[in-house]
Amino acid sequence: MVLSRDISICGNAKQLAKAKKALEPIVKRLENLNDVQVRLLLQDVIDDKNLYASILYKGNAVWSRKRITQNLRRIISRGQLYGNKQVKWLRVKPGICLPAVPKDFKPILSEYFYNFLTMCCGSKAHYSRAGWIGIYPTLADLKRFFMKNEYGKPVSDYIPDWKSDALRTVEDVERMLYPFRSYVKAKQQEERRRNWQQRDMR
């Protein structure tokens, strides 16, 4: 469903109706905002109204912080991305391996978070969500990934500035994964702001 020139919505009939009702009142407001602001406002509406439809702005998904951080809390509490049995890798020929997924495999990593990781954070798909969990099975592996993705960069440095919703989500993820580091970083930013304010007052 096309809501405006820049916004389209995908989902089932119930999801589309709910998203349309939530977004129609703000469409006019969006015309006066830049892309960064629009994406943040759309993300706020998605989370405030618990929208499950996919919202696209200029052809790119706008992500729910709430859905990702809720899933991350479960991962942190369990310390792993799978619920019962770990994915094994089978070598089919030299240099080629495929994930061997147990029949009763229960992932903790949601499909939504997996899509975020592969579409925004600098990871390849690894065949499927189960394949991704096979590469990054534990919380420690997930932490390492956010420090250095598959392109050798921290995830927060990999995402372009215009994807403001994804950047804000990654900030939340990093606060949860590295609370002490995030605390130190926040203190440093606060100190820098204070220094700038003092310079401006002179």
Burial class of residue 79 (count of CB atoms within 10 Å of its CB; 0-12, 13-18, 19+): exposed
- Condensed to tens digits (0 to 9), the pLDDT of residues 182-198 reads 556 666 667 777 777 77
Res. 119 pLDDT band, cuts 50 70 90: very high
* Secondary structure (3-state) at 31: coil
Res. 126 pLDDT band, cuts 50 70 90: confident
Residue 86 DSSP label? P
From the CB of residue 54, how many other CB atoms can be counted at a distance below 10 Å? 18
Share of residues in the chain with pLDDT > 90 (%):
69
* Residue matched to tokens 């993820």: 173
- CA 113 – CA 172 distance, rounded (Å): 13
- Condensed to tens digits (0 to 9), the pLDDT of residues 55-110 reads 999 999 999 999 999 999 999 999 999 988 888 878 888 878 778 888 888 999 99
Strands 7-10 and 96-100: unpaired
Question: Among 23-32, 83-92, 103-112, 124-133, which is the least confidently predicted range?
Answer: 83-92
- CA 46 – CA 83 distance, rounded (Å): 28
Of 157 and 94, which is predicted with more confidence? 157
Residue 137 DSSP label? -
User: What interhelical angle do 179-201 and 164-177 show, nearest 10?
Assistant: 120
- Per-residue pLDDT, 98: 79
For the chain, what is the mean pLDDT? 91
